[in-house]
Amino acid sequence: MSASVIDGKAIAADVRASVAKAVSQLPGQPSLAVVLVGEDPASQVYVRNKVRQTEEAGMVSVHHRLPETASQQDVESLITELNADDSVDGILLQLPLPKGLDADAAIEKIAPDKDVDGLTEVSAGRLTLGKPGLVACTPTGCVILAKRALGADLSGKHVVVIGRSILVGKPAALLFLAENCTVTIAHSRTKDLPAVCRTADILVPAVGRPGMVKADWVKPGAAIIDVGINRVDAPEKGEGKTRLVGDADYADCAEVAGHITPVPGGVGPMTIACLLRNTVLAACARRGWNVPEGL
């Protein structure tokens, strides 16, 4: 068996197109404010991509940049100002923050109705209780990818999520549970982890360990939604060169799985696409607009 590749780039492009179509039907332009603190090169690239894709979708992008020397009060004061700015629908605090700053405390300053990353305690609580709210982008992308591979109805599928982080593992488990899946959260203390993984119709590794999942961990025909993004040495590309790999050993697992996301080009592109979608949903909820069909 050779797995079908779940093309995250193409699916993310579809989501962005649906967002752009929705924006064109709204009575106004949703606005996303991105806050970048410091000089982290990777964060700068991520922010540029978010700003560009926000504008391409027809929305307003507001970019705030604070220096590496910014204090906790500087960051939280800016977030408070954005909370009070009625023209701003979504607030994204780019992580990681420079050393010495408390990201959790800063995130908690974001108004829940503008929490387009779905990371505040209120957002997490709404998800846990099954109430409407903004949901973390990466887990949302995982569910969309699984549906594209297996069909819109995931009822009865057994999902094994490897990892219990508040960023991906726990919210992913809750989102699949809401799709009427049977969900197991596995982690470093799980007994006989490979055997647990072999029971999964949908396997979601999200632990940050390159190539951890091998073919003999995979149920034949299962779908693998690989959240891991790990940079490893790539001497074949030249001295000092690196490449990105997932938590699943792609070449090995592709021989057994029915569907698999590549790294890069799988879950990653979905995160920004779902951020844009959340911004539209936040704008509609805040401004009393009807959510356009197909979003």
pLDDT digits (tens, 9 = 90+) for 119-135: 999 999 999 999 999 99
Instruction: Tell me: pLDDT of 169 over 70.
Output: yes
Quick check: bond before 264 cis, omega within 30?
Answer: yes
Instruction: Tell me: pLDDT of 284 over 90.
Output: yes
Q: Best-predicted range by mean pLDDT among 35-49, 188-202, 229-243?
A: 188-202
- Residue 137, exposed/middle/buried by CB under 10 A (0-12, 13-18, 19+)? buried
Catalytic residue among 117, 201, 247, 249: 117
For residue 238, what pLDDT band results from cuts at 50, 70 and 90?
confident
What are the residue ranges of helices labelled H in the chain? Answer: 8-24, 41-56, 72-84, 103-107, 121-129, 137-150, 169-178, 193-197, 250-253, 267-287
> Can you name the residues that pair with 65 across neighbouring β-strands?
36
Catalytic residue among 50, 114, 157, 170: 50
The separation between the first and the last C-alpha atoms of the chain, rounded to the nearest angstrom, is 35
Catalytic residue among 7, 53, 94, 226: 94
> How big is the chain, counted in residues?
295
> What pLDDT, on the 0 to 100 scale, is given for residue 150?
98
Kindly calculate the radius of gyration of the chain based on its CA atoms and give it in whole angstroms: 19
Q: What is the pLDDT of residues 265-281, one digit of tens each?
A: 999 999 999 999 999 99
For residue 68, what pLDDT band results from cuts at 50, 70 and 90?
very high
Q: What average pLDDT score do residues 136-163 get?
A: 98
> What pLDDT, on the 0 to 100 scale, is given for residue 42?
86
219 is catalytic: no
Instruction: Tell me: pLDDT of 198 over 90.
Output: yes
pTM higher than the cut 0.85: yes
Instruction: Tell me: pLDDT of 144 over 70.
Output: yes
> String of b and e for 94-117 (b: at least 16 CB within 10 Å)?
beebbeebeeeebbbbbbbbbbbb
Question: Rounded mean pLDDT of the chain?
Answer: 96
CA atoms of 187 and 207, how far apart (whole Å): 8
> What pLDDT, on the 0 to 100 scale, is given for residue 275?
97
Instruction: Tell me: pLDDT of 200 over 90.
Output: yes
Instruction: Tell me: pLDDT of 1 over 70.
Output: no
94 is catalytic: yes
Q: Which residues contact 114 (CB under 8 A, 6 or more apart)?
A: 82, 83, 88, 89, 90, 91, 282, 286
73 is catalytic: no
